[in-house]
Structure 1
Amino acid sequence: MADRVLRVSTAVVLVVGLALAGIAAREEPVELLFYFTVQVDLAYLVVLLAGCGDRVRTALTVYLVGTAVVFVLVLANPWSGYAMVATPEARGLVSDAGNLLLHAVVPPLAAAQWLHRPPRAALRPAYAVSLLGYPLLWLTVILVRGAVGGAEDRYLYPFLDVPRLGYPTVALNAVLFGGTLLLIALTAVRMSRRRAG
């Protein structure tokens, strides 16, 4: 029963958050699909509605928790140097509410569901490392798109803004965020092994 309540609650929050994000990005709806958070949230919604294996669910939970960490400590933190609170896209009640739901409400709900129904089999450390593949692919697409694009905000996130920061700083930021994801993934692996043992 608790698992069903968590699943339904998370699905409702996801639908509302994605709808608000879509409304806020009504002038450029396709642009919204390039955001890592939106891609992961959409995938997690599909998982909630259609079901999937433990490994996919774990991967998406790791990504969601990672986006929450980056949002709270970097993007929504006015002292981080990469805060998006000063950009026009980050202002407005609809945009703020959507961001809050997708970045700060969904991840804890997903983590709670994962803790309530952990993987049946213990995960291995190599699995945690493999979870870096999708973010690396996403980063490659964003950097190539930014290099050939003409829009001012083509890199989407301030910490990936190559014209302003340069490739060395962007690479360092990518390594730091990749390391954060790896730590979260290794924590999930350790917890799965404890429960399985």
Structure 2
Amino acid sequence: MSGRVLRVSAGAVVAVGLVLSMIAARDEPVELLFYFTVQVSAAYLVALLAGAGDRLRTALTVYLVGVALVFVLVLANPWSGYAMVATADARGPVSDAGNLLLHAVAPPLAAAEWLTRRPRQALRRGYAVSLLAYPLVWLTVILIRGALGHDEDRYLYPFLDVPHLGYPTVALNASVFGLTLLLLSLTAVHLTRPAPGAGTAD
């Protein structure tokens, strides 16, 4: 599959997934915007349309792949202990389709597209570490929002639910997610390693 076809496919899947998610969350549209998956997916779509540079495209691809791993191994895994099982009223074909597109279909397409257009200059390991900044800011906002709120689902994800788990367990879960992103970032950096004599990007 050519890079152009992959870009169009990834963009279309993300766009449809976001639209379906917005339709499913029509009663709480602001809540939807706090989800890491939605933020990253929307940013990725804009990046594709705007022809973003290699560094931003790499970062968003890493985040999307991380989202896919968390969804498959944790949130959609009934044996993980953190599976998100919503009530019948909160689920439906629209919500399920949106989740499937954003979490399971778009990330592999994004990864394949990135592999067909790897950065022209190699990325340094420091860049991989810098990719943890955005998830850390997002986590801080979610924890502050949760501490100030009263809704049962204010922490959005069960592995961040402070009232049920406590801060030590939430910190451990966040660290595992951060380590996963770091490993993905370092893998991406390694895959951009140039041939002998080629330059590197800071």
Query: What TM-score bracket applies, with the shorter chain setting the length?
Result: over 0.9
State the shift of 1:100 in Å: 0.4
> Which TM-score applies when normalising by structure 2?
0.94
Distance in 2 between residues matched to 1:127 and 1:114, nearest whole Å: 17
Please name the residue that 1:36 is paired with.
36
Is structure 2 residue 23 aligned with structure 1 residue 4? no
Please name the residue that 2:47 is paired with.
47
Is structure 2 residue 102 aligned with structure 1 residue 110? no
Deviations 1:134-172 (A, max 9, x none): 000000000000000111100000000000000000000
Distance 1:195 1:74, change over 3 A: farther
Q: Secondary structure at the match of 1:77?
A: coil
Which amino acid is the alignment partner of residue 86 of structure 2?
Answer: T
Q: Which runs of 5+ in 1 are unaligned?
A: none
Deviations 1:85-112 (A, max 9, x none): x222763111111000000000001000
Please name the residue that 2:79 is paired with.
79
Q: Which runs of 4+ in 1 moved over 3 A?
A: 194-197
Distance 1:90 1:157, change over 3 A: farther
Please name the residue that 1:143 is paired with.
143
The share of aligned pairs that are identical, in percent, is 75
User: When you count helix as a share of all residues, which structure comes out higher?
Assistant: 1
Contact 2:74 2:82 in 1 (8 A): yes
Q: Secondary structure at the match of 1:193?
A: coil
Please name the residue that 2:68 is paired with.
68
Distance in 2 between residues matched to 1:127 and 1:152, nearest whole Å: 37
Q: Which runs of 5+ in 2 are unaligned?
A: none
Distance in 2 between residues matched to 1:139 and 1:159, nearest whole Å: 12
Deviations 1:34-66 (A, max 9, x none): 000000000000011111110000000000000
State the shift of 1:6 in Å: 1.1
Is structure 2 residue 122 aligned with structure 1 residue 122? yes
Please name the residue that 2:177 is paired with.
177
Which amino acid is the alignment partner of residue 140 of structure 2?
Answer: T
Distance in 1 between residues matched to 2:90 and 2:102, nearest whole Å: 13
State the shift of 1:195 in Å: 6.1
Contact 2:47 2:57 in 1 (8 A): yes
Distance 1:143 1:195, change over 3 A: farther
Contact 1:59 1:131 in 2 (8 A): yes
Distance 1:114 1:195, change over 3 A: farther
Contact 2:40 2:63 in 1 (8 A): yes
State the shift of 1:194 in Å: 4.9
Distance in 1 between residues matched to 2:194 and 2:22, nearest whole Å: 40
What is the number of residues matched between the two proteins? Answer: 196
